[in-house]
Structure 1
């Protein structure tokens, strides 16, 4: 993997994930379309093939004793084509296009959408607008503010498959919202991965500490002076993650997932309760809740603590 050419760099992609910043720059529409064809085509093909085989076997017995395997196939082949043929063609076409024309398939998009600048402690958000849709040049607006002016929120929603949660960075002094979780995590049915992401981002932006223990950041750890000194003192191998065997990596992955699902964000003291007044809370309730108590003076439960002000004690 390390020996393969970096197609993103050749395509002029402006995304970044290293010791200096996390910058999200989506690919062009055709690259996204090829990816969608591959992922959904492969998934629906596997499901459709299993359903087609089951229907074919049961159809042979239900169509009568005079029905042969061949006649049953010709009887049901239009349904098989819809269930497995179309997804299979999507999967095959996307794989062939990417294999034969990799540089055409990978194309940079219009530019970055947001960036967490670790060196300067800033958050940047790009906005691209046209006066007339699809016509004329884009007007680019860049919003920039210090990271400490942003609060983390977990946005909840309901879909046909249940609850969905997304992590959002909200600027405290404006209406700016950055859906970072949608880019880095995707939607989750559990809010705890969003809590863990907020802890990770706070640890990442803290230049006084070493970089978080994250496999993608490992090739860049030696470039950060604080991280390099930390690794030297702790004796951490330079290729700790990259030289790990698959079995151990899977074990470490399960351990990290277990820590994420048992994160204690909701039990941490609410630091915001010492600064602001919540609705339906007396001053005594706020003081009690600010000390970490979930019960007010009269036994009423206070609202959950703000995720954006969770203490940075998880790495």
Structure 2
């Protein structure tokens, strides 16, 4: 049959083997591709696990309270957050949230000699949103509080004991599939409106006057502590102008509880 078809589309004096060369070549290439695909699917996971650039050995672990890295595993409370500002040639400012290990002598990179540091790049948005990002990460690592009420974590809320108890007690005030249903029902225009409302809440939150748990729990930390600007956005863009600074207040149990319950409206 192949010989007949080949002769119809390519008549000539070619031998039987010459006619079969084309389809056999196609079958050979497809066979090799199929074999390679099977080998990739079977052994790719081993490649990723053995390659540090593709491994899952870097993680913030809520259950254990540890931060996993190539330099070792360290408690989350040993990390400090700060906002780094960089300017381009036109003077435009970019701000990035960074989380750095407090004791670099134990976590220096063997190749670069730099302390262990994680960067959370956000090319757009205000300074207040960097504060909110650190606040969300802190909430995620605090097992005494429920998980931050954000779309990405909603499918896993029932897996966390604290969050499951929080939701079953009716304190969340939302259905178990709130974010999934929201994205399924509303259009892009409504989503943009909700995003604008969210940004407004974040920008108007009193980040500068919130209690600093680090200053209240780490001995000697408050010796170098001064105050926070009342308007973090204004201070970041123009630190030389007259900016009002406010001292952080002492945290109370009622404030902690109210702060935890308010996460639904600020995420």
After TM superposition, the score normalised by the length of structure 1 is 0.47
Map 1:233-312 to 2 at 5 A. 233-234=169-170, 235-244=173-182, 245-247=185-187, 249-268=191-210, 272=215, 275-278=221-224, 289=226
Change (3 A) 1:293 1:304: closer
SS across alignment from 1:212: coil
* C-alpha distance in structure 2 between counterparts of 1:111 and 1:171, whole Å: 21
* C-alpha distance in structure 1 between counterparts of 2:169 and 2:120, whole Å: 33
Structure 1: runs of 5 or more not aligned? 1-9, 16-24, 29-107, 127-141, 279-285, 295-299
Match of 1:200 among 121, 131, 136: 136
Structure 1 position 124 matched with structure 2 position 60: no
SS across alignment from 1:243: helix
Q: Which residue of 2 aligns with 1:154?
A: 83
Structure 2: runs of 5 or more not aligned? 1-42, 109-114, 231-241, 249-254
Structure 1 position 179 matched with structure 2 position 125: no
Q: CA RMSD in A?
A: 4.1
Q: Which residue of 1 aligns with 2:96?
A: 166
Q: In 1, are the aligned partners of 2:229 and 2:245 still within 8 Å (CA)?
A: no
Find the structure with the greater CA-based Rg.
2
Superposition misfits of 4+ residues, deviation over 3 angstroms: 10-15, 247-252, 267-278, 300-306, 311-314
Higher fraction of helix: 2
SS across alignment from 2:74: strand
Deviation at 1:166?
0.5
Structure with higher RCO (Cα < 8 A, 6+ apart) = 1
Deviation at 1:202?
0.8
Change (3 A) 1:13 1:214: farther
Structure 1 position 221 matched with structure 2 position 157: yes
Change (3 A) 1:150 1:303: farther
Number of matched pairs: 181
Q: In 2, are the aligned partners of 1:269 and 1:293 still within 8 Å (CA)?
A: no
The more displaced of 249-258 and 156-165 is 249-258
Could you list the per-position Cα deviations for residues 174-219 of structure 1 after superposition, in whole angstroms to 9, with x for gaps in the alignment?
162423312xxx3346322111101001111111111111001111
* C-alpha distance in structure 2 between counterparts of 1:149 and 1:218, whole Å: 28
SS across alignment from 2:147: coil
* C-alpha distance in structure 2 between counterparts of 1:167 and 1:304, whole Å: 22
Could you list the per-position Cα deviations for residues 120-140 of structure 1 after superposition, in whole angstroms to 9, with x for gaps in the alignment?
0011222xxxxxxxxxxxxxx
* C-alpha distance in structure 1 between counterparts of 2:133 and 2:59, whole Å: 15
The more displaced of 188-197 and 249-258 is 249-258
